[in-house]
Amino acid sequence: MKPGMTMTQKILAAHAGLKTVRSGQFIEANLDIVLANDITGPPAVAEFGKMGAKSVFDANKIVLIPDHFAPNKDIKAAAQCKILREFARDQGITNYFEVGEMGIEHVLLPEKGLVSAGDAVIGADSHTCTYGALGAFATGVGSTDMAAGMATGKAWFKVPAAVKFELTGKPSKWVGGKDVILHIIGLIGVDGALYQSMEFVGDGVQNLSMDDRFTMANMAIEAGAKNGIFPVDDRTREYIRKHRNRNKALKKSVKAYNADENAVYSREIQIDLGKIRPAVAFPHLPENVKTIDEIDRISRIKIDQVVIGSCTNGRMEDMAVAAKILKGRKIAKGLRCIILPGTQQVYLDCVREGYAEIFVKAGAALSTPTCGPCLGGHMGVLAAGERAVSTTNRNFVGRMGHVDSEIYLAGPAVAAASALRGYIAGPEEF
Q: Which helix H or strand E contains 28, and what residues bound it?
A: strand 26-30
CA distance 224 to 184: 12
**Residue 102 CB neighbour total at 10 angstroms:** 23
Superfamily (CATH) of domain 281-421: Aconitase, domain 3 (3.30.499.10)
Q: What is the pLDDT of residue 251?
A: 63
Please write down the HEC assignment for all residues of 147-206.
Answer: HHHHHHCEEEEECCEEEEEEEECCCCCCCCHHHHHHHHHHHHCCCCCCCEEEEEECHHHH
Q: What residues does each domain of the chain span?
A: 7-271, 281-421
Q: Which helix H or strand E contains 104, and what residues bound it?
A: none
Q: What is the mean pLDDT of each run of 10 residues along the chain (430 residues)?
A: 90 96 96 96 95 94 94 93 96 93 94 95 96 97 95 97 97 96 96 96 97 98 97 95 69 85 95 96 95 86 96 97 97 96 96 97 95 89 96 93 96 97 89
Q: Cα–Cα–Cα angle for 309, 313, 317, nearest 5°? A: 105
* pTM recorded for the entire structure: 0.95
**Cβ–Cβ under 8 Å, residues 106 and 87:** no
Packing angle of the helix pair 41-50, 75-91 (nearest 10 deg): 50
**Cβ–Cβ under 8 Å, residues 66 and 369:** no
Instruction: Say yes or no: do domains 7-271 and 281-421 share a fold.
Output: yes
Q: Cα–Cα–Cα angle for 156, 48, 28, nearest 5°? A: 15
CA distance 198 to 225: 7
Q: Which residues contact 86 (CB under 8 A, 6 or more apart)?
A: none
Whose CA is closest to 232, among 122, 127, 133?
A: 133
Question: Is residue 107 classed as helix, strand or coil in its secondary structure?
Answer: helix
Decide which of 3.30.499.10, 3.30.420.40, 3.40.30.10, 3.40.50.300 is the CATH code for 7-271. Answer: 3.30.499.10
CA distance 7 to 14: 11
Q: Reading across the β-sheet that carries 387-390, which strands appear in turn? A: 289-291, 279-281, 406-410, 387-390, 305-309, 336-340, 365-366
51, 54, 60, 66 alpha-carbon torsion, rounded to 10°: 60
Please name the amino acid found at residue 395.
N
Question: Is residue 229 classed as helix, strand or coil in its secondary structure?
Answer: strand
